[in-house]
Amino acid sequence: MFAIEKTKVRSARSADLPAVARIYEHYVRTSLATFEENPPTLADWRAKFAELAAQGLPFLVAQSGTEILGYAYIAPWRPKPSYRYTGEDTIYLAPGQSGRGLGKALLGELLTRGAEAGIRQLIAVVVDTGDPSSAALHLAFGFTEAGRLTGVGEKHGRILDTVLYQRSL
C-alpha cells in the first residue's frame, strides 16, 4: 500500500462512491479530461463498482483522514472475450489535489493490483488538452505512446484528440 503525508491508497468501498461521483462530476462539468457531458449518477457508480468487483478488477481511493482525495480503477478495455487480459486505467484527483504525488501513488498501486488480477496489458486513453500531466504520469510508469486518434471528441466547443498509452504488466 502506498502512503503520502497521512494519505493512504486502499480498495474503494461502497461508502466512497458519493465522493468518487463528486470528483468525477467536477471534471465532467468543468474540464476536457473526459468526454462525458453528463455526470453519472450515484446509481451508475454503484453499478460500475459492482461490475468491476465481479470481474476482480481493482478500484482504489486515496484517502486522508475521512476525505477521499482521488480514485483510480481498471475497467475492461473492450467487451469482446479476446480482450479479457487488457484493461484501461482511469485516475482522477479531487480539485486542488494535483502535484502532491497522489496520481503516482494511485497508479503505482493500480499497476500492482492489475497484474494480480490477471491484466497483462494496460491502456491509458488521454485527452490531448494541452496539459501534459496525465501523459507525463503514464510515461513515468513505463507506458509508451501507442497511437493518436485525431478529432474524435468535441467538448466545450473544442475538437480534441486522444492519445493512447500502453504498458505490459
Write the DSSP string, 13-69: -GGGHHHHHHHHHHHHHH-SS---SSPPPHHHHHHHHHHHHHTT--EEEEEETTEEE
Average pLDDT, the chain: 95
Amino acid 55 reads Q
The predicted pLDDT at position 7 comes to 87
CA pair distance 26, 15, nearest whole angstrom: 19
Grid cell locating 69 = 482525495
One-letter identity of residue 132: P
**CB 94: neighbour CB atoms within 10 A?**
18
Count of beta carbons in the 10 Å neighbourhood of residue 116: 11
Q: What is the pLDDT of residues 75-107, one digit of tens each?
A: 999 999 999 999 999 999 999 998 889 999 999
Nearest to 64 by CA among 99, 100, 28: 100
Residues of the chain where predicted confidence (pLDDT) is lower than 70: 1-5
- With CA atoms as reference, report the closest residue to 168 among 138, 134, 126, 123: 123
Residue 6 is predicted with a pLDDT of: 82
**70: helix, coil or strand?**
strand
- Domains, the chain, ordered by start: 3-168 (3.40.630.30)
C-alpha cell read off for 81: 472475450
pLDDT of residue 5: 60
**Could you give the C-alpha distances from 14 to 29, 40, 59, 68, 163, in angstroms and in order?**
23, 15, 11, 13, 31
Instruction: Note the pTM of the prediction, 2 decimals.
Output: 0.94
Give the 3-state secondary structure of residue 144: strand
